[in-house]
Chain A
C-alpha cells in the first residue's frame, strides 16, 4: 500500500497491469469524478490543492496509458510485461459512430455490474423502471434533454408514469422511444409497454370523467 505520490499509473486509475484500452477509458471518468472540485466524496478528507494534485496524477496516468507508445515505454520503465491486447478492440470502439456529443458512457459498465438486470429482461416497462435503468447507466435527465431536445418536464412525467401530464399519444410515444434509445434500452419494447399503460390510464380517465358527467 503506497501513498498516492508513489503509486504508478495503474494504481492511480485502480486498474490491473493487464488493463485493456477500453478498461482504461471506462475507469478514467469514474475515478476522476471522485476528485472533481465539487465532489462530495473528497469532502473533509482532501483539500482543494490535494484534489487538484490527484486530478493531475489521474490525467497524466490516463494520457500515458491510452497512448500505445507512451504506455510501452512506461511499462518498460516500471518493469512490467505488456500482457494486454488493446489496439484492435480499441479501434473498433473508437470508430463506432457516436450519436451524441455528451459523454454518457462513463460509469456505465461499473453500474451495470452492480445491479442485475432482472427487471429489464421482463421488457414490461413503466416510468419508474425506465428511471432505474437511467440511474444505473449514470445518465442525468438534463443529458437526455440535451440530446433529444425533449423538455425535461416531460421526461420526468415519463419516469413518474404521470400519464395525464403527458401530451397526446403520438408525441408521448416519440418521447419514450427517444428516451429509451438515449439510455440504451430497446426503444421498441419500451415504447410498446409504456404506451399500453398510457392508453389504459387515459381511457380509465375518460371513463371516470364520463361517469362524473352523468351523475
Chain B
C-alpha cells in the first residue's frame, strides 16, 4: 500500500506517518528530475505502507504544469501497489479535482460545522462539474457545462438539474450521458469529530440534500468520534490506529476501511460483466 501526498503546497502526510525528511518526493516528479513515480516511494515505520511525500516543493511553483499533471494522474493509476491512497489539499483547484476524480473512490471528509459543510458542498459541486465536463462529448454541451460552472451565469442555471434540462433540449444523447454520469458519481462521505448523535445524522442529511439539490447521491461511509487521542497521535507523529488500536477513533476508522472494501467488492461485482470498473481519467 502506498500513500501519496499531492498537497504540494501544504505537504505534511509524511509527518503524520513518522517519516522525518524523505530523501525523494513528488517534487522530483514535478520538476522532471524523475519520471518514474515508483522510484519516489519511501518506507514508513508502518509495515506494508510506503509513502510518496509532497515535501521539498519548489516554492516558486509547487504545482505541476498541465502536461505534467496529466502524466502524474496516469502514473498514479499505474503505481505498483494493492492500494494507492492519495491525500489531497484543500480547495477546488483543477489539480485537486483531477486527483480526486482519478481514484476508484473519492472520500470527502467534513466536520459538523457550517464552514466545513459549505466547503464540502463547494467541493462536491466543483468535482461533479469537472467530471461532467470530461464526460460530455459535444463542444456545445461542454461549453454549456463551463457556463453553468459560473454561479451567476446568464442562462440562470443554478443546479445540475437545471443544467440537465438545458442539455436535454440541446442534445438528448448527451442528456442521457449526463444522467449516467450523475448516477455514477458517488463520492463517499465521512463525518469527522462527531460529538453528538445529531452529528452522526449529518452524513445522511448531506447525502439527501445533494440528491435533491445536485441530483447525485454521495454515499455516507461513516463517522469518526471526536477523540483526544487522534490529536495527540499527530503530536507523536504516528497514526492513531498505531498508537492505540482500541481507541474510539481507531475503531471508527477501522469500520470505515472495512466498509470501503465492502463497497469496492460490491461495485466490482456489479461491473463484472464489462471487466474492470470505471476509469475516470481521460
Contact = CB atoms under 8 A, between A and B. Distances in A.
B61 interface: no
Interface in A74-129: 107, 110-111, 114-116, 119, 128
A64 interface: no
Given A31-B208, A43-B117, A135 B194 contact: yes
A31 B205 CA distance: 7
B108 interface: no
Contacts of A128: 248
How large, as a class, is the contact surface on chain A? 35 or more
A138 interface: yes
A116 B261 CA distance: 13
Interface stretch (B8-16, B77-85, B131-139, B209-217): B209-217
B258 interface: yes
Interface stretch (B19-27, B62-70, B195-203): B195-203
A52 to B, nearest CB: 14
Tell me whether chain B's interface is mostly helix, strand or loop, or mixed: helix
A196 interface: no
Contact of B204 (A1, A43, A110): A110
Contacts of A44: 114, 117-118, 121-122
A108 to B, nearest CB: 11
Interface centre among A30, A43, A110 (most CB of B within 10 A): A43
Contacts of A1: 161, 164, 179, 182, 215
A140 B112 CA distance: 16
Contact of B205 (A2, A33, A116): A33
A115 to B, nearest CB: 6
B255 A116 contact: yes
B248 to A, nearest CB: 5
Interface string A144-158: 000000000000000
Of listed B179, B201, B220, B251, residue having the most chain A CB within 10 A: B201
A14 B212 CA distance: 9
Nearest to A41: B205
A30 B197 CA distance: 12
Given A1-B161, A134-B197, A140-B196, A42 B209 contact: yes
B278 interface: no
Contact of B225 (A31, A110, A132): A132
Nearest to B114: A43
Most A CB contacts (10 A, CB to CB) among B194, B200, B205, B251 go to B205
A146 to B, nearest CB: 14
A114 B114 contact: no
A9 interface: no
A119 B113 CA distance: 29
A54 B194 CA distance: 26
Among A39, A46, A139: residue with most chain B CB under 10 A: A39
Interface of A: 1-4, 14, 30-31, 33-35, 39-46, 54, 107, 110-111, 114-116, 119, 128, 131-132, 134-140
20 contacts: A3-B161, A33-B201, A33-B205, A34-B209, A40-B112, A40-B117, A41-B117, A42-B209, A43-B117, A44-B114, A107-B204, A116-B258, A135-B197, A135-B200, A135-B223, A135-B225, A137-B197, A138-B197, A138-B200, A140-B198
